[in-house]
Amino acid sequence: MSNQAGHIHYSWVQTHNSDNINSELQQVQAKESMFYYFAYGSCMCPVDLKRSLGEKTHPYVIGTGTLKAYRLGFYRISPTRKCGVLDVVKDPKASVRGVLYQLPWRLSDRLDKREDVPQGGYRHEYVDIHCEGKVYKDVRTYVVVDKLLEEVAPNDWYFNVVLQGAVTCGLPEEYCWSLFHHMYQLQQRHQIRCSDRLAL
């Protein structure tokens, strides 16, 4: 997958071995309390999630999941990433694809810190996630507390991390392209506005 702006070039392959991951996850589950977490943005990328949680997260992936009656939007500017970042908002006609994790409770505070919960950036929302023929109840996800009225473009780094997570974890190709075009169009709109300002 690639675009003319040179953002990315990825192959549509699933890189993890589900049998090995399920075995590792069962070993962890037997030792400690766990919670379900649905990621739809940069946390879909286990490598980027590891940066915040301090350990490999591949073993905690249950699979790809669907959050029904919500849609994606870039309704927050991240103070650390300095760009628009993803949010989900209720929409009965839409759905959001993402990654379902089962994480140890000891990682909960680190995940909250990543999502800026202590500073009021995001808050917990508990949702139903459809994954591999089952419905998982009371799954934690994160929603923006003070939503912007208009979407703000992601920067190239966030663009790539989100798309890398979507592709690596095996989200449907059609959804990945839709996500790609959404982010690309926001960036194009931002560039046009910047050009218009400079022309004044």
**What pLDDT digit, counting tens, does each position of 133-170 carry?**
999 999 999 999 999 999 999 999 999 999 999 999 89
Give the global pTM: 0.83
Distance CA 34, CA 60 (A): 10
Q: For position 194, what pLDDT does the model report?
A: 80
Residue 51 identity (one-letter amino acid): R
Mean pLDDT of 180-194: 93
**What pLDDT digit, counting tens, does each position of 41-58 carry?**
999 998 889 999 999 998
Q: For position 195, what pLDDT does the model report?
A: 73
Closest CA to 151 of 87, 97, 197: 87
More confident: 122 or 17? 122
Q: For position 46, what pLDDT does the model report?
A: 87
Mean pLDDT of 3-29: 50
Distance CA 98, CA 77 (A): 21
From 24, 55, 115, 151, the catalytic residue: 115
**What pLDDT digit, counting tens, does each position of 61-115 carry?**
999 999 999 999 999 999 988 999 999 999 999 999 999 999 999 999 999 999 9
Question: What does the buried/exposed string (b/e) look like for 4-16 if buried means 16 or more CB atoms within 10 Å of the residue's CB?
Answer: eeebeeeeeeeee
**Burial class of residue 165 (count of CB atoms within 10 Å of its CB; 0-12, 13-18, 19+):** buried
Q: For the structural domain made of 34-199, what CATH number should be given?
A: 3.10.490.10
173-199 vs 156-168: helix axis angle to the nearest 10? 170
Active site residue 115: yes
Q: For position 10, what pLDDT does the model report?
A: 39
Q: Look up residue 59 and give its two tokens.
A: 């073993």
Binding site listing: 37-42, 158
Q: For position 192, what pLDDT does the model report?
A: 87
Q: For position 29, what pLDDT does the model report?
A: 55
DSSP letter string, the chain? -B-TT---B------S-HHHHHHHHHHHHTTS-EEEEEE-SGGGSHHHHHHHHSS--GGGEEEEEEEEEEEEEEEEEETTTTEEEEEEEEEEEEEEEEEEEEEEGGGHHHHHHHTTTTTTSEEEEEEEEEETTEEEEEEEEEEESS--SS-----HHHHHHHHHHHHHTT--HHHHHHHHHHHHHHHHHHHHHHHHHHH-
Q: For position 108, what pLDDT does the model report?
A: 97
Q: For position 47, what pLDDT does the model report?
A: 87
Binding site listing for substrate: 37-42, 158
